[in-house]
Amino acid sequence: MEINTVNTTVTKRHARVDVADVLRGFAVLAIILLHSIEHFNFYSFPDTEGQSAWLTFADRSIWDGLFFTFGGKAYAIFALLFGFSFFIQHDNQRMRGSDFRLRFCWRLVLLLLIGQLNAAFFTAEVLVMYALVGFVLVATCRLSDRWIITLSAICMLQPVCLWQIMRAISDPEYTITAINTSAFWSATFAAQSSAGFLETVKVNLWEGQLASLAWAWDHGRIFQTAGLFMAGMLIGRRGWFGRESQPLWRRALAIALICFFPLRGLNAMVPEYITRPDILKPMGILLSSLANLSFMVILVSGILQAYYCTTRLSNILARLIPYGRMSMTNYVTQGIIGSALFYHWGLYLRVGITGSLLVGIAIFALQYAICLAWARSHSHGPLEYMWKRATWIEFPFRATPTPRPA
């Protein structure tokens, strides 16, 4: 394979890209709001009988509005930035004459452990999946841009879904074999509803993890995540998060707007014309995945335009930088806080969707205040710092020591 020549000025290290922290902060904020109205994957809500009409309207508007805007998109931004961060780390070491790939494999092992900590509290966390899928970056980081674009596009086009659709069309007897996760989800719901802390952790780390990973596979998240990782790496190579690349993002915004509405409309129309589940299910996953990716591009390009082209909006968005720099700490702690609030082992709050949104805003406000105080004397969040320090320990890489970052 051809090795791409990175078009960057050779310096000691890449400067930190503030707009990437803005995007991280935005994504984690959106994730917290979604998780809060879902009760952190514990769909248990109080009886709404006798509830006022205006509160019912507010509940429905909040649920539909947040999922339309952020559902499947905030996660996609987070995945895109994971690939971007890998490029920065890999290229910093390349410019020092070092190979970061083996070190990054160790970093993914550490991420798997952090993900297990998160999963002990929150069943739908994504860090474990990131740790498993992240090896695609090690495998592709030295390929040419053309190969990266091709492989990323193939992953985002959901090859498994395409194969299932073509197979179902050509063979009337073909049926999709789905992973049966009902027992896993039932076990996690039962633990969240009635178990103590230790039993909930036990169930979360086994049935919860199996259910979450199986759901990710069945809904196309594995391939989509791999595609987004590679796309983020390409953005880093090309320097597309810089101010000078804004004309490119304006074109991306126009294309995404053109694509999103037909994809979303087609996804809503397909059930009226296709009734066979073995075609309808993969078709729905494919169309919703592409629609979400289009809307994610709208969000990212809109934030970039606001950050670079409008001083007032830039100043507002820049307030998310401290929050984004502690994105892992905030992501993990929101799951801990949320489970303590909503699960049976904790406070077991029984509030509706509108009240749950207010809880999510309160969690964000608390985290944001802590981030501002922490950033005054620290350059990394607590989990980010520990992850970085553990990444650069000598064992098991002592035989070929790698220069540590400044």
Tens digits of residue pLDDT in 26-46: 999 999 999 999 999 998 888
Which class for 16: exposed (0-12), middle (13-18), buried (19 or more C-beta within 10 A)? exposed
Tens digits of residue pLDDT in 240-294: 999 999 999 999 999 999 999 999 999 999 999 998 999 999 999 999 999 999 9
Question: Which two structure tokens, joined as six digits, stand for 13?
Answer: 């290290």
Confidence of residue 50 (pLDDT cuts 50, 70, 90): confident
What pLDDT shows up at residue 14? Answer: 78
In whole angstroms, what is the distance from residue 87 CA to residue 102 CA?
14
Cα→Cα distances 264→269, 270, 351, Å: 9, 10, 31
Are residues 197 and 344 in contact, defined by beta-carbon separation less than 8 angstroms?
Answer: no
What pLDDT shows up at residue 143? Answer: 96
Query: Who wins on pLDDT, 8 or 66?
Result: 66
344: amino acid identity, one letter: H
Domain ranges of the chain: 18-45+57-391
What pLDDT shows up at residue 403? Answer: 55
What pLDDT shows up at residue 180? Answer: 82
Tens digits of residue pLDDT in 327-372: 999 999 999 999 999 999 999 999 999 999 999 999 999 999 999 9
Q: Identify the three-state secondary structure at position 38.
A: coil
CA 35, 40, 42, 46 dihedral sign is negative
In whole angstroms, what is the distance from residue 250 CA to residue 262 CA?
20
Which class for 375: exposed (0-12), middle (13-18), buried (19 or more C-beta within 10 A)? middle
Q: Which of 147-156, 215-224, 367-376, 392-401 has the lowest mean pLDDT?
A: 392-401
Neighbours of 15 (CB within 10 A): 7
What pLDDT shows up at residue 310? Answer: 86
Measured at the CA of 23, the angle between CA 136 and CA 211, to 5 degrees, comes to 50
Question: Which two structure tokens, joined as six digits, stand for 150?
Answer: 């091709």
In whole angstroms, what is the distance from residue 192 CA to residue 186 CA?
10
What pLDDT shows up at residue 181? Answer: 85
Half-sphere exposure of 354 toward its Cβ, with a 13 Å CA cutoff? Answer: 12
> Does the pLDDT value for residue 4 go beyond 70?
no
Are residues 123 and 212 in contact, defined by beta-carbon separation less than 8 angstroms?
Answer: yes
Confidence of residue 12 (pLDDT cuts 50, 70, 90): low
> Does the pLDDT value for residue 102 go beyond 60?
yes
Average pLDDT of 92-116?
95
What pLDDT shows up at residue 46? Answer: 87
What pLDDT shows up at residue 364? Answer: 98
Are residues 232 and 87 in contact, defined by beta-carbon separation less than 8 angstroms?
Answer: yes
What pLDDT shows up at residue 405? Answer: 56
Contacts of 65 (CB under 8 A, 6+ apart): none
Are residues 182 and 93 in contact, defined by beta-carbon separation less than 8 angstroms?
Answer: no
Contacts of 195 (CB under 8 A, 6+ apart): 203, 344, 345
Share above pLDDT 70 across residues of the chain, in percent, rounded to a whole number? 94
> Does the pLDDT value for residue 6 go beyond 60?
no
Write down the residue that tokens 């809880």 correspond to. Answer: 359
